Amino acid sequence: MTDIYDVMAKITALDTDSIEQARARQAQLTKPAGSLGRLEEVAVQMAGITRSVTPIVQRRAVVVMAADHGVTAEGVSAYPKDVTPQMVLNFLAGGAAINALARQAQADVTVVDIGVAADLEHPQLLSRKVRRGTANMAREAAMSQAEVLQAITTGIEVMENLAAQGVDLVATGEMGIGNTTAASAITASLLNVPAEHVTGRGTGIDDQQLTHKVRIIEQAIAHNVPDVEQPLDVLAKLGGLEIAGLVGVILAAAAHRIPVIIDGFISSAAALVAVALAPAARDYLFAGHLSVERGHRLILEKLGLEPLLTLHLRLGEGTGAVLAMHIIEGALRTHSEMSTFAEAGVSDKEA
Ligand SMILES: Cc1cc2ncn([C@H]3O[C@H](COP(=O)(O)O)[C@@H](O)[C@H]3O)c2cc1C
Ligand SMILES: O=C(O)c1cccnc1
């Protein structure tokens, strides 16, 4: 069985030689120095991740981890929990937002049932139920330590299979009614900020429901007393089987030197846990976009990540991350396909 600590130990710093050579190449391309802005930084980071001076992307994938949340019993979402399995079937039928965007980006959609309460069967579904939804964190720990480890291991195995199939750019996605509550609770704990500062409207709750959601998160934290120095304790108690699965995806991708595009608030809560466990994983991440969900900005600031897009999305599923694939590939195209001043016979800046 996969040992998560072995995977974490394989995550190393970016390759400084490739970074230096990529920077030197950028300086020779036919454009004013620095004029491609963040695209230049993205290309250089990609070089450091892949150990290639001119990296290319050949196979893209988005992993959509789906699971249910016991805390939905407290009335924290605008939608019923039945939407989780219904949306899983929609992903498999190709009818969700993530399917349309993944087709455009030519990304494979891998859907994983890591803890949906209902029975689900489909030839394309990876059935990896750790349990049938988490327990209600307002009353008890969402998961046991064994379950959180199993969920992370599941994510690692899913990512390792994708790596074996040649996937070299991965996006994180999730589906789970109630999961903004779990993500907010994790974020409040790990960033040591009041729940109110990192709790948003998720699928669209009103002011009164938002106040109630904050109270439920405060109750969950007060009742479970997660050890904020132990990211796995926080993750187990405040939950999210799909969030734990994405922690595994992120760790395994970084261990395989595969860049990971993080989607919105929920995916970023997973990134926060992954980086708390293995700080070197941070340099393998790109923030696809800035979500409307309150708290997302704080996570990205903590991780030192600047979002590639700001489109006022608040959907999840991996939508913003898959959209950002186009930006990353634009960065790589310009970096590798542009001529140098010498090649094109264009005069460089006067010395
Ligand atoms: C039809 C539908 C499709 C979705 N796709 C993603 N989410 C998003 O909304 C949920 C989180 O919001 P909350 O915490 O308020 O429940 C997650 O499932 C997330 O992926 C959806 C939500 C709905 C209703
Ligand atoms: O940012 C996200 O990931 C998000 C926000 C609201 C609802 N679902 C997901």
Structural domain boundaries, residue 14: 4-55+335-344
Supply the pLDDT for residue 2.
85
* Whether residue 135 has pLDDT greater than 90: yes
Mean pLDDT of 60-89: 98
Q: DSSP code of 174?
A: E
* Whether residue 26 has pLDDT greater than 70: yes
Ligand 2 centre to CA of 313 (Å) is 8
CATH number of 21's domain: 1.10.1610.10
309 and 189: one domain? yes
Domain count, the chain: 2
- Is 290 a domain residue? yes
Question: Which atom of ligand 1 is the closest one to the Cα of 87?
Answer: 3
Q: Which residues are catalytic?
A: 317
- Is 43 a domain residue? yes
pLDDT digits (tens, 9 = 90+) for 174-203: 999 999 999 999 999 999 999 999 999 999
Supply the pLDDT for residue 350.
86
Supply the pLDDT for residue 46.
99
Mean pLDDT of 319-324: 99
Mean pLDDT of 99-123: 99
For 146-163, give one letter per residue: b (16+ CB within 10 A) or e: ebbbbbbbbbbbbbbebb
Share of the chain above pLDDT 90, in %: 99
8 and 75: one domain? no
* Whether residue 118 has pLDDT greater than 90: yes
148 and 293: one domain? yes
pTM: predicted TM-score of the whole model, two decimal places: 0.99
Q: Are 42 and 327 in contact (CB under 8 A)?
A: yes
- Is 349 a domain residue? no
- List pocket residues of ligand 2, CB cut-off 6 Å: 180, 202-203, 263-266, 291, 293, 296, 314-316
28 and 177: one domain? no
- Is 247 a domain residue? yes
Closest ligand to C-alpha of residue 83 is 1
Supply the pLDDT for residue 1.
67
Q: Which of 175, 209, 210 to mutate to test the pocket of ligand 1 (most atoms within 8 A of CB)?
A: 175
34 and 112: one domain? no
Supply the pLDDT for residue 152.
98
Q: Which of 83, 92, 101, 198 to mutate to test the pocket of ligand 1 (most atoms within 8 A of CB)?
A: 83
Mean pLDDT of 101-115: 99
The whole-angstrom separation of Cα 339 and Cα 160 is 36
51 and 130: one domain? no
* Mean pLDDT score across all residues of the chain: 98
- Is 300 a domain residue? yes
pLDDT digits (tens, 9 = 90+) for 254-295: 999 999 999 999 999 999 999 999 999 999 999 999 999 999
The whole-angstrom separation of Cα 228 and Cα 234 is 6
Supply the pLDDT for residue 351.
75
Question: Which atom of ligand 1 is the closest one to the Cα of 98?
Answer: 5
CB atoms within 10 A of CB 25: 19
- Is 269 a domain residue? yes
CATH number of 74's domain: 3.40.50.10210
Closest ligand to C-alpha of residue 292 is 2
65 and 46: one domain? no
Angle, vertex CA 132, rays to CA 296 and CA 204, nearest 5: 35
92 and 122: one domain? yes
119 and 144: one domain? yes
The whole-angstrom separation of Cα 307 and Cα 82 is 32
* Whether residue 61 has pLDDT greater than 90: yes
Supply the pLDDT for residue 307.
98
Residue having the nearest C-alpha atom to atom 9 of ligand 2: 316
Interface confidence (ipTM) of the complex: 0.99
- Is 350 a domain residue? no
131 and 261: one domain? yes
Ligand 2 centre to CA of 319 (Å) is 10
138 and 224: one domain? yes
- Is 351 a domain residue? no
Question: Which atom of ligand 1 is the closest one to the Cα of 179?
Answer: 14
97 and 227: one domain? yes
